[in-house]
Structure 1
Amino acid sequence: MSYLKFDRRLMSNLDESLQREYIRTNRMGAYCCSSIVGCNTRKYHGALVIPIPELSPNNHVLLSSLDLSIVQHGVPFNIAVHEYRGDVFSPLGHKYIREYNVDVASSTTYRVGGVILKREFFLCHYEHRIIFKFTLLEAHSKTSLRFSPLLAFRDVKMLTHRNEQIDGTLHALRHGQAICLYPGYPRLCMQLSKEHEFHYAPHWNENILYHKERERGYEHTEDLYVPGYFECVIEKDQPVYFSAGIEEVDPALLPEMFAKEFEVRIPRLDFRSCLLSSAQQFYYRPNEQDGYLLAGYPWFGVRARDLFVALPGCSIYAGAPERYYRIMDTVIPDLDDFMSGRHASPLLTHLSDPDVGLWAVWCVQQFARVYGRDEARRLYGAFVSRLVQYYMSNTHSQMHLEDTGLLYVYAKGRPISWMDAKLNGLAVIQREGYLVELNALWYNALLFYRELRPQEWNTELDILRERIERNFNAIFVNEHGYLFDYVTHQAAKDWSVRPNMIFAVSLPYTPLPRAVQRSVVEIVTRELRTPKGLRTLSPKSEGYRARCSGSQHERELSYYNGSVWSWLLGAYFEAYLKIYGRGALSYIERTLIGMEEEVHEHGVGTISELFDGNPPHTGRGAISLAMSVGEIIRSLSLLEEAKQKYENMNPINK
């Protein structure tokens, strides 16, 4: 029984199928992405979308889609799907779909009359190439396939329109054609595995509409160039392969290349394997030495905080420690450069955010938890020491270590934490001063430093620890049993019930007494917890927004005023286990079972960026977020560890 399988009923219902999207990547920054029915609903969608750093920092859509027609008795049946201006769908290829399956390859089975055809595809690892495989399962007469490439050659943040600047010149290849529409782009090499005819019939497919962009308040129609079409006969048991890449390939090797891609994939057979496969998708190798995690798809790059939060789950807890080693070896020099005032790699953004270094310490702490303190000390002890000394040096332009022992940040209206939504350059949530999660991370980092480098611990640091413990409680704990989100020198206190306080309980070292920890967890559970994660604001707090939709302005107001973020579940589960022990197991398990349905929804096989604050908690934003995936993987491991711990513990002697 397939795990990620969608039947004819769902696929033929565009209201349902268009809401589900897939994403596959090649570890070099390229991806292919669309709705599961094959109709592009975003400007970010495309069959081959690749980075071209010489042109812009964004990815670029080369091949928008490959339209397929099944030809019998000279009559073509176009089984593609496009939406056009006026909310018109044509052709209506979704009516021919019998099944869609993404357990290994993305696979769609069509039936047109007596013809049953299966289409599969892979985006090749470490190569900018997509390979389609077409298998004829049933036919009662001669059958041909017609392939029409729809070309964009544009930045993912832009749209293209009919123009006279294109270069439609075609260059013959072995079993194919190459084309490059504009200067600066690589040529797109389109090749088939067998002899065929190419029919030169250049035209523009105009007024294609992307309804997700319309919902988001952006320009949403474009024209795509079609140079003509390839046509070949297909026979049973003799699959046809179509390749689109930036380099020519030997067509005879396409079956072998496709088979190799199949062998190295993680079959998505259950919730965990879906997450493990998704974790691979974020791994980014811009060259042979370096490694990063992309923050999400389809529009995020490498962001420092996201990387450190997601890394343990996407590497250590995913059974891929080599990713952890390579990525840490890449980003530690970048952090050292930043702390020393030198220019760091432009690939790793948001390094200057005050909490980034403390998340890096937490990332090492997770490594120590799995591989031991001695190994963490050997590999990363000096790095942790440098980070702690940096935070004590008061050289950060936006942050100061106060006499209270706490870190104080000066935002000047700019976003300085993970709650980074902004309008007109100013933060929607203008957090500044003593931030609760920043100082929880600071206390945790300081005590982990003591654990890792005891020879460097001294009386001065012990006094600092005591000062933090005393003032953290005095400044953040309020009379209602939860924590202020931030407090300023001017005595401004944010009474909003937000999830940032959960880190003061969840982190391995906490300055809070047990009673306050319990109270925080109870309030977070009562007001912020949902089946998809934690709300960013309690519905009881002023400014709560239940849905994250509409124009960019509306969405920016909603992101952190009620929207649900799944990555916060990792910290929430840790805190819940701390407080309730054995009693937390069934509760956490039920929540994770509830999360499992998400891999069948917005982003198929992965976890969305965020969700609406109110039921049914619709998935929003990016279709796949590294922090969400990483923290859910880590949560599954935490649950299994806790089960083993309590199974081996006599409750009477506990």
Structure 2
Amino acid sequence: MSYLRFEKALMTNLEESLPRELLRTNRSGAYSCSTVVDCNTRKYHGLLVVPVPGLDDENHVLLSSLDVTVVQHGAEFNLGLHKYGENCYSPRGHKYIRGFDCDKLPTTLYRVGGVMLKKEVLFQHYEDRILIRYTLEDAHSATLLRFRPFLAFRSVREFTHENYVANRDYQFVDNGIKTCMYAGYPDLYMQFSKKSDFVFQPDWYRGIEYPKEQERGYDSKEDLYVPGYFEMPIRKGESVVFSASTSEIATSKLKKLFDVEYEDRAPRDNFFHCLVNAAHQFHNREENDDRYLLAGYPWFKCRARDTFIALPGLTLAIGEQDYFELVMKTAERGLREFMGGKPLSVKIYEMEQPDVLLWCVWAIQQYARACGDEKCLRKYGKLLSDIIKYIIKGKHPNLRLEANGLLSSDGKRTSVTWMNSTVNGCPVVPRSGFIVEFNALWYNALMFASHLLKDTKKAESADLEKRAALCGRTFADVFVNEYGYLYDYVDGDVKDLSVRPNMIFPVAFDYSPLSVEQKKSVLDVCTRELLTPKGLRSLSPKSGGYNPMYVGHQSQRDQAYHQGTAWPWLGGFYMEACLKLYKRTRLSFIERQMVGYEDEMYYHCLGTISELFDGNPPFLGRGAISFAMNVAEILRTLSLLETYTYQK
């Protein structure tokens, strides 16, 4: 019995099946994404979505979908599914689905009369090539398969419409054709593992609708170009492999390539393996061998803060220190370029955010915990020292070390923290001055650097320890309030009393300026007012402006983004704080919290974790369908659970 399996009743019920999405990536920036019934509901959906560096830094939908028709005795049964207008679905191929599972590969079983057709889909690693294997498992008479490709050739942020500029030319290649709709795009090669007949029958399918875009108040309709169809006979027991790619392949290799790629896939047969698979989907290897972590799918790029927060969970927590080092090698080059005032040669966005350097130190600290101080000092000691000196010398454009030992940042007119939503160019949550997690990170960084350098640079280590002592004393004076929790930020006479999750960080970090009593008090407030089954709320229901439902048009969503929604990655730090304060006595509690995340393996995007959740029941997943920091912190929590479980 597969872990991720759905029966006919669910698959044929569009209210249940359409909200469930599937993601496949090639670990080089390209992806394939749709719903489990292959009905695209977002403009970001597509069977082959690839970066086109010659045009811009966005992904582009080349092949939107591939409709398959079973033909027997002249009767046609189309297995495709598209939405047109108000509740109009055609050709309603989902009614033929008899089962779906997503163990090693997404596999759909169709039944049309006496015909049983199995479809398996995979994305070749490090190549812009989607492979689909069709196997005729049963048939009582001669059977034809007809394949009709729907082409878009557009950015994921735009739509295509019927026009007379689109190029209709095509050329035959080995068992298929190649075509390109617009200048600047690569050729799209559509090939089969056996000979097929291509019938040129160009047409536009008009008014295809994407309900997810409609929900956000965006345009939601487009037209897709179909150049014609491929047709071939298929025998009972026979398999045919379809390839869509930006490069040609010898079709005699397609079946073997599919088998090889299949064997390379790890099964998603339990919660942990699903998360590991999701972690690998964020990998991004560029042509020059730079390594990145994408912040999420389908619309996020590589962002600096997300990289350093997610890096330990996506690598060290699953025993993949090598990939940590590869990503950090690329990131270090970008950090040094930023600190040196040079143009960035890396594709990492938001490097200028003031807490990025601090989160980098935290990521290095996790490496030291996993690999030992000696190895960490050898690999990252110089970087660590240079980051601390850069901050102390006041070289960062928006991070100032004040005389009281704390760091301040100006966030009145622009977002400087992870709470970065804006409306009309202004921050929804304008956090400025002394920001609580910035200074928790700074104290932790000073103490960690002092510890790591104590044997090799004693004078520098002693100076850092002295600075940490000043920071620690001031931290408690500035942030601890009479109500038993921490101000979110303090800017002059403004002391923000909003109960927000950022105060959990000084409780969770290895080095904290808080006393044990203060930590417990903060944790208690987080438990009472912020904890949900899907992580910590971004704002307490008792605080002004609480807006927990991430729904409506985009402006409404931006207002709610950090005003009560729940975030699993924050829950990771909350659970780390629980373990540090209460150790094994909280194991069963944290295990129960993990159940809330395991439920998500079957919803929204299968086998991964959404960007955020509504802050009120039923805590529905929202935003990006797969989010790196969330997957990372759940994996890191599972690793911590294992550590505490086997402690004597």
Partner residue in 2 for 1:608: 610
Contact 1:567 1:631 in 2 (8 A): yes
Partner residue in 1 for 2:314: 314
- Give the Cα separation in 2 of the matches to 1:283 and 1:21: 20
Contact 2:485 2:521 in 1 (8 A): yes
- Give the Cα separation in 2 of the matches to 1:405 and 1:93: 65
Partner residue in 2 for 1:470: 473
1:457 aligns with 2:463: no
Partner residue in 2 for 1:556: 558
Partner AA of 1:287 in structure 2: E
- Give the Cα separation in 2 of the matches to 1:317 and 1:259: 30
Contact 2:187 2:246 in 1 (8 A): yes
Alignment of 1:93-492 (within 5 A): 93-345=93-345, 347-454=347-454, 455=457, 456-457=459-460, 460-489=463-492, 491-492=493-494
Partner residue in 2 for 1:512: 514
Query: How many residue pairs end up in the alignment?
Result: 645
SS in 2 for 1:44: coil
Partner AA of 1:569 in structure 2: G
Partner AA of 2:471 in structure 1: I
Contact 2:600 2:608 in 1 (8 A): yes
Shift of 1:319: 2.1
Match of 1:591 among 586, 590, 593: 593
SS in 2 for 1:517: helix
Partner AA of 2:338 in structure 1: F
Partner residue in 1 for 2:646: 644
Contact 1:295 1:626 in 2 (8 A): yes
- Give the Cα separation in 1 of the matches to 2:160 and 2:478: 54
Shift of 1:288: 4.5
- Give the Cα separation in 2 of the matches to 1:4 and 1:465: 49
SS in 1 for 2:405: coil
Shift of 1:458: 5.4
Deviation by residue 1:190-217 (Cα, 9 ceiling, x = unmatched) = 1111112111110001100000000011
Alignment of 1:517-556 (within 5 A): 517-556=519-558
The TM-score normalised by the length of structure 2 is 0.99
Match of 2:498 among 484, 496, 499: 496
Shift of 1:393: 1.0
Deviation by residue 1:324-343 (Cα, 9 ceiling, x = unmatched) = 11111111011011111111
SS in 2 for 1:28: coil
- Give the Cα separation in 1 of the matches to 2:319 and 2:262: 20
- Give the Cα separation in 1 of the matches to 2:645 and 2:86: 55
Shift of 1:236: 1.8
Partner AA of 2:31 in structure 1: Y
User: 1:270–1:458: structure 2 CA closer, same or farther, 3 Å change rule?
Assistant: closer
User: 1:594–1:458: structure 2 CA closer, same or farther, 3 Å change rule?
Assistant: closer
1:566 aligns with 2:545: no
Partner AA of 1:472 in structure 2: F
Contact 1:4 1:101 in 2 (8 A): yes
- Give the Cα separation in 2 of the matches to 1:225 and 1:379: 52
Shift of 1:133: 0.3
- Give the Cα separation in 1 of the matches to 2:16 and 2:346: 40
SS in 2 for 1:71: strand
Could you tell me which runs of 5 or more consecutive residues in structure 2 were left unpaired when the two chains were aligned: none
Shift of 1:237: 2.0
Partner AA of 2:389 in structure 1: Q
Deviation by residue 1:119-146 (Cα, 9 ceiling, x = unmatched) = 0111111110111100011111111110
SS in 1 for 2:91: strand
The TM-score normalised by the length of structure 1 is 0.98
Partner residue in 2 for 1:652: none
> In terms of mean alpha carbon deviation, does 344-353 or 632-641 score higher?
344-353
1:59 aligns with 2:59: yes
Contact 1:569 1:635 in 2 (8 A): no
- Give the Cα separation in 1 of the matches to 2:389 and 2:495: 29
SS in 1 for 2:77: strand
- Give the Cα separation in 2 of the matches to 1:308 and 1:231: 49
SS in 2 for 1:627: helix
- Give the Cα separation in 1 of the matches to 2:465 and 2:103: 54
Shift of 1:227: 0.3
Partner AA of 2:98 in structure 1: R
Deviation by residue 1:600-624 (Cα, 9 ceiling, x = unmatched) = 1011010000000001100000000
SS in 2 for 1:256: helix
Contact 2:355 2:438 in 1 (8 A): yes
Shift of 1:459: 5.1
Deviation by residue 1:302-321 (Cα, 9 ceiling, x = unmatched) = 00010111111111112222
Deviation by residue 1:517-558 (Cα, 9 ceiling, x = unmatched) = 000001101110101111000011110112101111000011
**% of aligned pairs identical?**
49
Shift of 1:644: 0.6
- Give the Cα separation in 2 of the matches to 1:473 and 1:2: 52
Shift of 1:16: 1.1
- Give the Cα separation in 2 of the matches to 1:193 and 1:459: 67
Superposition RMSD in Å: 0.9
1:575 aligns with 2:566: no
Contact 2:150 2:224 in 1 (8 A): yes
Alignment of 1:610-629 (within 5 A): 610-629=612-631
SS in 1 for 2:583: helix
- Give the Cα separation in 2 of the matches to 1:111 and 1:547: 40
Partner AA of 1:578 in structure 2: K
Shift of 1:412: 3.5
- Give the Cα separation in 2 of the matches to 1:470 and 1:169: 72
